[in-house]
Structures are given as C-alpha cells and as structure tokens.
Amino acid sequence: MFLFKRKTVLIIMFIGLLVFSIYLMLIGNYPRVIYKNSSAPDAEKVTALKTSEGDTANVKNGSEKDFFIDYRLERDRLRSQEADYLREIINNPNASQESKEKAQKDLIALAEKVEKEMMVENLIKAKGFEEAVIIISGDSANVIVKSNGLSQKEVAQITDVVTRTTGYPMDKITIVERK
C-alpha cells in the first residue's frame, strides 16, 4: 500500500511540473502588443540602464524600434537556453539513446524554425516594411509589422511571404499591426 501512495505522489508531482512548464512556455512565447503614441512626452524620456559591466547605457523609453529589438533579444535568449538544454541531453552519458535522438531532432527543428523566422523577417523588410517580427509556434505563424495602417495589398504581400516560406495556409497566419 505504501508503494502505491509513493507512485501516486510522484505522478502528481510530474503532472504539476508539466503543467507549470507549459504555462512558462506559453507566457514566454507570445509578445505583449501595446499600441503607444510615439509623440507622447513619455516616449522622449531617457533612462539609464545598468549593463553587466556596471556602465550605463542611455535608452529611449517607448521607442517603437525598441519593441522589435527587445523582442528579438528575448526570443534569441530563450532559444539559446532551449538549445543549450537539448545539447545537455545529447551530451549526457546517462540519457537513453531514445531521448538523445529526440533531443537531436528537436535541436534540428529549432534551427530550422530560427532560419525560417529570420528569412521571413528579412523578406518582409525587403517588401518595404520598416520592422517585422515573426513567431512560429506549432502549426501557426504570428507576424508583427510596424505600420500606420496596412492596406489589403500589404496584408496579401505579408501573407504570401509567410505562406511561401513556412508552408502554412493563410488561415494559420495572424498579422498584427504595431504603430
């Protein structure tokens, strides 16, 4: 009877850990899009941010380009952590061969996803948009574009680029405008 309780407790702990991991993944993968008026007085305030060396760097708050830069940096940081985790599994002598093979496949899929995102972002910029960020998750793609109003032609251009590069159908592509 004691063994049954111990297994039950372990299963409950693993399920809780799984749910918590999924929650963390979801809140980290989607950007918080907030429309800001760039002519507001707060947009021109400059704050000093501490860098890792202790120096200060001046950054404009509310700068529209900061959203895209910050998002890319955060996305790259999370992807780097994910890649490091997968490499640890691959290089772990105690890991099973099956888990090593799955980690290798996941690492290759991650690299392909990063390549697609970078390609789509550059192609959208080549179409004349100032900034763009794409988030590929599962079987859908979300695109955030800097624009003061997207015409139907521009939406069609973005959709065409995403569809051709990722292979996703139009109903799996979401385009968000960021001013």
The dihedral sign for the CA sequence 130, 66, 141, 168:
positive
Note the pLDDT tens digit of each residue in 136-161.
888 888 999 998 888 888 888 998 99
Question: Could you report the per-residue pLDDT of 69-115, keeping only the tens digit for each?
Answer: 888 899 889 989 999 999 998 998 888 899 889 999 999 999 999 99
Phi-psi region of 149 (alpha: psi -120 to 50; beta: other; left: phi over 0): left
Residue 111 is encoded by which pair of tokens? Answer: 């690299």
Domains and CATH numbers, the chain: 38-178 (1.10.287.4300)
